[in-house]
């Protein structure tokens, strides 16, 4: 907790930090942007001057203390500067999603009562103009790119250049004005307001104070030892709270340089050119990169494929251990070093990952194979758990203490507790001030003594790492009171390549059980390799050999579950392989391929009953829709298997 | 083992010579799609002209009563080659625009015989020893320390070839004229529309290949004198091109080296069993195999067509 | 309709042009003039002589009769490279890019007429040639930024999808900073979104740089939307000339062309 005090000793707002950084890091680069094919850089001193001019310009145009400034566009230096400029004037920047349509923007503009907007280009200007008559508070639009803007003769649409010009002229006559304005701010003021989409209802404006952002950013800096030599690529939406910490807050606190890509299409090339040391990406981006690597390797020469396979085997075996500093034999170390020279190094260089010291991923569970792939290459990917209401960090993994299925221990200064229903609650310096103009939502999310409900269910494992298992509202209970998290079980099952879909049952039942859909391609290949003939999905799914294969998977899941006291009771006791694939055409899946639990429960009621009775075989008929639209029925005898149940390991240890 | 290494090295050196000639072919083929049968004769003609400028038994001495120093002779010869290039464009190519490739090819055969006859008439048909003061004899250091026999001239040839290829690569990739050359090779009409003059480009490209021919002429001439058999190395360049790909500068180099080494090694090690003279047909055999297996050559472009 | 612009004096005047190939008349007695800063469209059914007209303007074809006056200089025959040097750039109906070269190199060739340093420096890419190369690269980067093709800067154009190739071809023409831009069916074969993008680029070019544009286009909606004036050709003869509205209501045009426009659109 001493660390928080250290944070308290430094400047308590971003404008003050800016002034301090201009002094401390004057000539070091603060932000870069690739423009016209060349990386342009601004030093902290230059950024300070630009922001001062922008703030003065905003004031000249009538921006007052307490006003809100909407910011819309891709990651651009000038848009980041606009945030600090607004803050210096005692206003609140509201970064908005640049790909939102005009109507979505209207809601935020109206709700946040933005009086000014700084936008990137003509496209965004047009969207704002479209809804302007419905946003009575909005009175000025300032655009950065002049392209195509020549014929906009509305007096309230102006170029950023002219605003900066006015600002510079004002500053020339009023030296010290910016410093005086910045000094008026204090840590408890609202620093940034970001809108969360939320799964239900209208977006909520989350008000984060300077204290929230700066202390949290600083704690993250301490956690990972970030400093002014780090490099970050700012490519995720500015409206997302993460970008406000990684590309803005931490840059101000640690003094490192942030690079803005040329365009959203060039991120991969730009990444390679910049070589960031600190990186954030949601799991799907890592997944896409892995897929691209696989595709490219498929096109490579036979020799290269062989080399890649050999060395990836070595990497997967010893790479994570080497990264985490665990003991590894000399021979393996030597082989790994050779692999680094021949395969991993060139590959990382191609991806722009060469200089990564650490990379975070969050937002959803990352597949263990993806996680292991990057870690085995020596890329220090870690998971974190965060939310807008926490100014990002709630839990984060520590170097050398990484597990693919947890989100790590609580971050610095964060208190965590698990409610009776399994919901995760936290309290930290990053806890948001309130939802803007929405007391009801604030009250239902944050208790009076500062605990925030995340809506996620989770538990601590033996090492004190948090495991998130499901949305709290989806978590049920077995009859004996054990927590039952269906999606957690299903995801664990689906991580096996042989299983394409799974539906877990257990709420208000005696034990957990599951339906399984096998992956026709993966299991088909497996069957072909062992000379097993089959006529189609149903035939394959009914095979005893396939049941054995799937039973192994279920057993592994059960063993994993047995390691966690909270979940050990919800091991899958019985399972069956469905005789047909769950299909969106049959209404069993949504179009985004999510299981419609109720439809499945209704349609396969007799199978569920079979899972909870003693019988081993259940004859069924199912209606199917063929591709040509005809319907028909499939008849089959579905077998039910018992799975192995493991004793709870923690219970054992306690004995 | 030592003998094998010597065989390989002498093969490499011969390969460099093939490469130099093949390079001239590639340049012209890339820029104009013409297979210039006269490339070998260009080397011969350049060698003869150079000899004439610097030797006391040439026309130049007869006319002016003095000879040029070697470096000035080279520049003067270059001038001659540019004039030849310009004449080729002015008298031949200009009139054959948009003709079938085979017609252009035939015209270069005509050009080859014409130049050969002209050279014979102007300079006579004796073997002329070209002495530019390039180092000759064995490289003593290697002979003393490793007992390897390597000729100095061959090393010089290799270095010169390497420098030449580097300069050409930069010229082609990074300059306006290089881009214009590639543009013309790719699409005549589009090249015209951006203001590239085909005629200028052709003169430049024929001059450049004349320059390459001059370098090849100097190297061959210094080694075994300037003689009319030089024009026959054009035939040896053909398999080199098939190996390396007609449009690839690195292909010409690698192809030349492979053939140079291959035929030397084959001659020395397999020759005794088949009664020798493998060197005469090995290259063509190899080219034939390549045509069957990989018709675009080692480095040739697979044509990408999008419809 | 485009914004108000200062339409200037005559930039290009085509006077009594006739062109024939081996006795077949491709163009007969065509006259029209294009003013500075105008977007001017040539329309007509297939085989009407539209592309031949463009080819005459930039010197690919040499008309047997008539003259073309560009920037006050009157001539009957001009070589394509001269036309390019005088400030005429163009694109082609069937994309004519240098397929093996990168986007960047393709657009750099557009700077050809503006680059002057001699072959000696070029051979070494040294001294003045190096400096010149950098200056022109900067112009080309502006074009790349303008057309939003940063991501394909280093990609060989032969591997690009059709719509992007069209954009690169426009980029190559723009790099020459032309006074007159000839576009031969810039939107042929594009989907709706690509067409909208291309329309926007054409209008932006005209608007930002004041470039005069002569275009051939089949999509009547596009032509009527973005052109200031239109000339209609049919079988090598001029049917009508005027603003889109005038042409739309011209009975001869309706009979000869617009009436059958629907059969023609997909070509």
ipTM of the complex: 0.82
Inspect the interface and report whether the beta carbons of B189 and C92 lie closer than 8 Å.
Answer: yes
Tell me the C-alpha distance between A391 and A389, whole Å: 6
Q: Is B79 touching C (CB cutoff 8 A)?
A: no
Average pLDDT over residues A136-148: 93
Q: Which chains touch C (3 or more CB pairs under 8 A)?
A: A, B
CA–CA min distance A297, chain C (Å): 19
Q: What pLDDT, on a 0 to 100 scale, did the predictor assign at position B183?
A: 87
Q: What pLDDT, on a 0 to 100 scale, did the predictor assign at position B95?
A: 83
Average pLDDT over residues C68-91: 90
Count Cβ neighbours within 10 Å for each residue of B53-74 and write b for 16 or more, e otherwise.
bbbeebebbeeeeebbebeebb
**Structure-token match 């077995």, residue found:** A478
Which residues of A fall within a CB distance of 8 Å from C151?
263, 265-266, 269
Task: Look at residue A130 and tell me whether its pLDDT is greater than 50.
Answer: yes
Q: Give C210-233 pLDDT, tens digit per residue.
A: 899 999 988 888 888 899 999 999
CA–CA min distance B197, chain C (Å): 6
Q: Is A74 touching C (CB cutoff 8 A)?
A: no
CA dist B254 to B30, B245, B251, B285, B299, Å? 17, 10, 5, 17, 9
Q: Concatenated DSSP letters for A485-513? A: -HHHHHHHHHTSTTEEEEEEE-TTSSSEE
Q: What pLDDT, on a 0 to 100 scale, did the predictor assign at position B228?
A: 80
Tell me the C-alpha distance between C223 and C219, whole Å: 6
The residue of C150, C152, C171 whose CB has the most chain A CBs within 10 angstroms, and thus the best one to mutate to test that interface, is: C150
Q: Which of A533, A530, A522, A527 is nearest to A500 (CA)?
A: A522
Q: Is C98 touching B (CB cutoff 8 A)?
A: yes
Which residue in C has a C-alpha nearest to residue A151's C-alpha? C3
Q: Write the burial class of residue B117 (CB in 10 Å: 0-12 exposed, 13-18 middle, 19+ buried).
A: exposed
Parallel, antiparallel or unpaired: strands A452-460 and A466-471: antiparallel
Name the percent of chain B lying above pLDDT 90: 3
Average pLDDT over residues A614-632: 76
Task: Look at residue B303 and tell me whether its pLDDT is greater than 80.
Answer: no
Q: What pLDDT, on a 0 to 100 scale, did the predictor assign at position B32?
A: 73
Q: What pLDDT, on a 0 to 100 scale, did the predictor assign at position B293?
A: 78
Average pLDDT over residues A125-138: 93
Tell me the C-alpha distance between B277 and A373, whole Å: 57
Size of interface B-C (CB pairs under 8 A): 105
Average pLDDT over residues A508-532: 89
Average pLDDT over residues C101-114: 90
CA–CA min distance A36, chain C (Å): 5
CA–CA min distance C146, chain A (Å): 9
Q: Residue C125: pLDDT band by 50, 70, 90 thresholds?
A: low
Q: What pLDDT, on a 0 to 100 scale, did the predictor assign at position A8?
A: 43
Q: What pLDDT, on a 0 to 100 scale, did the predictor assign at position A1?
A: 38
Task: Look at residue B170 and tell me whether its pLDDT is greater than 50.
Answer: yes
For chain C positions 49-88, those within 8 Å of chain B (CB to CB) are 58-60, 79-81, 83-85
Task: Look at residue B271 and tell me whether its pLDDT is greater than 80.
Answer: no
The residue of C3, C104, C108, C145 whose CB has the most chain A CBs within 10 angstroms, and thus the best one to mutate to test that interface, is: C145
DSSP single-letter state for residue C236 = T
**Structure-token match 């022109």, residue found:** C136
Q: Is B177 touching C (CB cutoff 8 A)?
A: yes
Q: Give A361-388 pLDDT, tens digit per residue.
A: 988 778 888 899 999 999 999 999 999 9
Q: Residue A303: pLDDT band by 50, 70, 90 thresholds?
A: confident
Q: What pLDDT, on a 0 to 100 scale, did the predictor assign at position C242?
A: 92
- Assign 3-class secondary structure to A370-423: HHHHHHHCCCCEEEEEEEHHHCEEEEECECCECCCCCCCCECCCCEEEECCCCE
Q: Residue A598: pLDDT band by 50, 70, 90 thresholds?
A: confident
Average pLDDT over residues A514-541: 88
Q: Give A25-35 pLDDT, tens digit per residue.
A: 989 999 999 98
Q: Give B180-227 pLDDT, tens digit per residue.
A: 888 887 888 889 888 888 888 888 888 888 888 898 888 888 877 888
Task: Look at residue A139 and tell me whether its pLDDT is greater than 70.
Answer: yes
Does residue A225 come out as left (phi exceeding 0), alpha (psi in the -120 to 50 range) or beta? left
Average pLDDT over residues A532-538: 86
Q: Residue C2: pLDDT band by 50, 70, 90 thresholds?
A: very low
Q: Is A619 touching C (CB cutoff 8 A)?
A: no
Q: Residue B66: pLDDT band by 50, 70, 90 thresholds?
A: confident
Of B178, B194, B197, nearest to C172 by CB-CB distance is B194
Which residue in C has a C-alpha nearest to residue B30's C-alpha? C100
Q: Residue B129: pLDDT band by 50, 70, 90 thresholds?
A: confident
Average pLDDT over residues C108-118: 81
Mean pLDDT, chain C, rounded, equals 86
From the CB coordinates, do chains A and C have 3 or more pairs under 8 Å? yes
Of residues A639 and B165, more confidence is placed in A639
Q: Is B197 touching C (CB cutoff 8 A)?
A: yes
CA–CA min distance A150, chain C (Å): 8
Average pLDDT over residues A234-251: 95
Of C138, C150, C207, nearest to A150 by CB-CB distance is C207
**Structure-token match 């010229």, residue found:** B171
Task: Please measure the distance between the N-terminal and C-terminal CA atoms of chain C and give it in whole angstroms.
Answer: 25
Q: Write the burial class of residue A585 (CB in 10 Å: 0-12 exposed, 13-18 middle, 19+ buried).
A: exposed
Task: Look at residue A640 and tell me whether its pLDDT is greater than 80.
Answer: yes
Average pLDDT over residues A233-244: 94
Inspect the interface and report whether the beta carbons of C89 and B194 lie closer than 8 Å.
Answer: yes
Task: Look at residue A395 and tell me whether its pLDDT is greater than 90.
Answer: yes
Average pLDDT over residues A194-200: 73
Task: Look at residue C176 and tell me whether its pLDDT is greater than 50.
Answer: yes
Which residues of C fall within a CB distance of 8 Å from A273?
none
For chain B positions 111-130, those within 8 Å of chain C (CB to CB) are none
Q: Is A269 touching C (CB cutoff 8 A)?
A: yes
Q: What pLDDT, on a 0 to 100 scale, did the predictor assign at position A556?
A: 92
Tell me the C-alpha distance between A92 and B261, whole Å: 75
CA–CA min distance C197, chain A (Å): 13
Of residues A615 and A575, more confidence is placed in A575
Inspect the interface and report whether the beta carbons of C208 and A148 lie closer than 8 Å.
Answer: yes
Q: Residue B71: pLDDT band by 50, 70, 90 thresholds?
A: confident
> What long-range pairs does C72-81 form, CB within 8 A, spacing at least 24?
C79/B197, C80/B192, C80/B193, C80/B195, C81/B192, C81/B195, C81/B196, C81/B197, C81/C113
Inspect the interface and report whether the beta carbons of C144 and A266 lie closer than 8 Å.
Answer: no
Of C109, C122, C165, nearest to B194 by CB-CB distance is C109
Q: Residue B24: pLDDT band by 50, 70, 90 thresholds?
A: confident
Which residues of B fall within a CB distance of 8 Å from C93?
none
> What long-range pairs does B89-94 form, CB within 8 A, spacing at least 24?
B89/B199, B89/B202, B89/B203, B89/B206, B93/B32, B93/B34, B93/B202, B94/B199
Inspect the interface and report whether the beta carbons of C204 and A262 lie closer than 8 Å.
Answer: no
Task: Look at residue A44 and tell me whether its pLDDT is greater than 70.
Answer: yes
Q: Which of A602, A604, A578, A599 is nearest to A588 (CA)?
A: A599
Inspect the interface and report whether the beta carbons of B193 and C129 lie closer than 8 Å.
Answer: no
Q: Which chains touch B (3 or more CB pairs under 8 A)?
A: C
With vertex at residue B169, the alpha carbon angle to CA B165 and CA B172, rounded to the nearest 5 degrees, is 135
Inspect the interface and report whether the beta carbons of C60 and B304 lie closer than 8 Å.
Answer: no
For chain C positions 185-224, those within 8 Å of chain B (CB to CB) are none
Q: Residue A7: pLDDT band by 50, 70, 90 thresholds?
A: very low
Task: Look at residue B34 and tell me whether its pLDDT is greater than 90.
Answer: no
Of B171, B192, B195, nearest to C122 by CB-CB distance is B171
Inspect the interface and report whether the beta carbons of C96 and B196 lie closer than 8 Å.
Answer: no
């Amino acid at each position: 907790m001493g660390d928080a005090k250290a944070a308290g000793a430094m400047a308590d707002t971003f404008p003050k930090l800016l002034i301090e950084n201009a002094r401390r890091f004057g000539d070091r680069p603060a932000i870069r942007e690739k423009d016209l094919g060349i990386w342009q850089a601004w030093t902290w001193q230059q950024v300070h001057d630009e922001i001062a001019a922008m703030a003065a310009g905003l004031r000249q145009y009538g921006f007052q203390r307490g006003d809100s400034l909407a910011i819309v566009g891709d990651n651009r230096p000038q848009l980041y500067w606009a945030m600090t400029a607004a803050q210096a004037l005692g206003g609140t920047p509201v970064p908005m999603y640049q790909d939102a349509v005009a109507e979505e923007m209207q809601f935020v503009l109206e709700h946040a009562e933005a009086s000014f907007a700084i936008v990137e280009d003509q496209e965004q200007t047009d969207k704002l103009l479209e809804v302007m008559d419905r946003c009575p508070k909005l009175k000025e639009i300032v655009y950065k790119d002049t392209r195509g803007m020549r014929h906009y003769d509305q007096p309230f649409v102006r170029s950023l250049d002219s605003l900066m010009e006015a600002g510079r002229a004002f500053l020339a006559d009023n030296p010290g004005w910016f410093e005086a304005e910045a000094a008026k701010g204090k840590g408890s003021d609202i620093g940034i307001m970001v809108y969360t989409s939320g799964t239900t209802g209208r977006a909520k404006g989350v008000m984060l104070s300077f204290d929230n952002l700066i202390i949290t950013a600083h704690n993250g800096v301490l956690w990972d030892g970030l400093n002014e030599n780090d490099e970050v690529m700012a490519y995720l939406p500015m409206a997302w709270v993460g970008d406000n910490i990684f590309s803005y807050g931490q840059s101000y606190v640690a003094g490192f340089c942030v690079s803005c890509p040329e365009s959203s299409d060039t991120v991969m090339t730009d990444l390679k050119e910049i070589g960031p040391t600190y990186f954030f990406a949601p799991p799907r981006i890592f997944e896409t990169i892995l897929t691209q690597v696989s595709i490219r390797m498929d096109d490579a020469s036979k020799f290269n494929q062989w080399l890649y396979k050999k060395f990836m085997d070595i990497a997967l075996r010893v790479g994570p251990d080497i990264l985490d500093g665990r003991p590894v034999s000399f021979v393996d170390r030597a082989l790994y070093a050779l692999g680094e020279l021949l395969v991993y190094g060139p590959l990382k260089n191609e991806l722009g990952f060469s200089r990564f010291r650490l990379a975070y991923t969050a937002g959803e569970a990352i597949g263990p194979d993806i996680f292991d792939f990057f870690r085995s290459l020596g890329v220090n990917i870690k998971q974190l758990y965060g939310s807008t209401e926490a100014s990002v960090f709630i839990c984060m993994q520590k170097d050398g203490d990484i597990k693919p299925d947890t989100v790590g221990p609580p971050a610095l200064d964060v208190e965590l507790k698990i409610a009776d229903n399994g919901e995760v609650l936290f309290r930290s310096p990053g806890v948001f001030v309130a939802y803007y103009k929405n007391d009801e939502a604030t009250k239902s999310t944050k208790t009076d003594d500062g605990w925030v409900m995340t809506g996620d269910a989770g538990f601590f494992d033996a090492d004190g790492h948090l495991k998130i298992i499901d949305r709290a509202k989806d978590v049920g209970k077995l009859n004996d009171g054990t927590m039952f998290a269906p999606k957690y079980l299903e995801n664990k099952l689906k991580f096996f390549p042989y299983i394409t879909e799974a539906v877990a049952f257990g709420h208000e039942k005696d034990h957990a059980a599951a339906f399984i859909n096998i992956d026709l391609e993966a299991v088909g290949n497996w069957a072909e390799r062992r000379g097993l003939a089959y006529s189609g999905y149903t035939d394959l799914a009914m095979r005893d050999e396939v049941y054995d294969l799937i039973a192994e998977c279920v057993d592994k899941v059960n063993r994993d579950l047995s390691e966690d006291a909270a979940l050990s009771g919800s091991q899958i006791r019985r399972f069956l392989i469905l005789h047909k694939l769950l299909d969106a055409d049959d209404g069993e899946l949504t179009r985004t391929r999510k299981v419609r639990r109720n439809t499945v429960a209704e349609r396969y009621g007799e199978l569920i009953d079979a899972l909870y009775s003693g019988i081993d075989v259940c004859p069924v008929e199912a209606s199917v829709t063929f591709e040509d639209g005809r319907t028909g029925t499939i008849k089959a005898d579905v077998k039910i298997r018992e799975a192995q149940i493991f004793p709870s390991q923690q219970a054992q240890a306690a004995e | 083992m030592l003998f094998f290494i010597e065989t390989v090295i002498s093969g490499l050196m011969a390969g460099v010579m093939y490469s130099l000639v093949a390079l001239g072919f590639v340049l012209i083929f890339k820029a104009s799609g013409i297979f210039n049968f006269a490339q070998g004769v260009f080397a011969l003609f350049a060698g003869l002209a150079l000899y004439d400028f610097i030797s006391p038994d040439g026309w130049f001495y007869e006319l002016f009563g003095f000879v040029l120093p070697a470096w000035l002779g080279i520049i003067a010869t270059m001038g001659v080659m540019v004039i030849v290039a310009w004449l080729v464009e002015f008298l031949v190519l200009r009139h054959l625009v948009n003709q079938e490739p085979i017609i252009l090819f035939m015209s270069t055969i005509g050009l080859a015989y014409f130049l050969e006859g002209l050279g014979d008439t102007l300079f006579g048909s004796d073997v002329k020893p070209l002495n530019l003061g390039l180092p000759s004899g064995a490289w003593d250091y290697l002979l003393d320390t490793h007992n390897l026999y390597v000729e100095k001239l061959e090393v010089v040839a290799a270095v010169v070839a390497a420098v030449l290829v580097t300069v050409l690569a930069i010229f082609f990739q990074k300059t306006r004229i290089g881009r214009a050359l590639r543009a013309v090779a790719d699409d005549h009409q589009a090249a015209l529309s951006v203001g590239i003059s085909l005629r200028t480009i052709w003169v430049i490209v024929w001059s450049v290949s004349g320059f390459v021919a001059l370098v090849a002429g100097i190297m061959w001439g210094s080694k075994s004198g300037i003689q009319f058999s030089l024009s026959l190395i054009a035939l040896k360049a053909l398999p080199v091109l098939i190996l390396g790909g007609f449009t690839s500068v690195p292909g010409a180099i690698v192809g030349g080296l492979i053939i140079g080494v291959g035929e030397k090694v084959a001659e020395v090690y397999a020759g005794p069993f088949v009664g020798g003279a493998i060197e005469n047909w090995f290259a063509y055999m190899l080219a034939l195999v390549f045509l069957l297996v990989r018709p675009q050559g080692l480095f040739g472009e697979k044509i990408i067509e999008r419809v | 309709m485009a914004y108000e612009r200062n339409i200037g004096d005559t930039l290009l005047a085509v006077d009594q042009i006739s062109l024939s190939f081996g006795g077949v008349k491709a163009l007969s007695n065509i006259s029209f003039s294009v003013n500075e800063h105008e977007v001017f469209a040539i329309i007509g059914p297939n085989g009407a002589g539209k592309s031949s007209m463009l080819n005459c303007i930039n010197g690919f074809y040499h008309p047997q009769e008539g003259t073309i006056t560009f920037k006050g200089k009157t001539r009957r025959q001009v070589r394509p490279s001269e036309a390019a040097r005088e400030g005429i750039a163009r694109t082609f109906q069937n994309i004519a890019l240098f397929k093996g070269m990168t986007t960047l190199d393709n657009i750099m060739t557009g700077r050809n007429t503006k680059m002057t340093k001699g072959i000696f420096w070029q051979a070494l890419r040294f001294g003045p040639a190096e400096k010149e190369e950098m200056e022109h690269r900067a112009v080309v980067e502006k074009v790349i930024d303008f057309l939003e093709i940063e991501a394909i800067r280093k990609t060989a154009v032969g591997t690009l999808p059709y719509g992007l190739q069209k954009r690169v071809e426009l980029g190559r023409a723009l790099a020459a900073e032309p006074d007159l831009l000839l576009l031969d069916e810039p939107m042929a074969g594009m989907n709706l979104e690509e067409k909208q993008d291309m329309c926007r680029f054409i209008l932006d070019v005209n608007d930002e740089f004041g470039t005069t544009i002569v275009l051939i286009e089949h999509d009547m909606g596009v032509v009527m939307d973005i052109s200031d004036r239109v000339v209609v050709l049919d079988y090598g003869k001029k049917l009508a000339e005027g603003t889109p509205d005038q042409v739309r209501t011209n009975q001869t045009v309706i009979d000869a062309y617009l009436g059958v426009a629907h059969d023609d659109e997909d070509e």
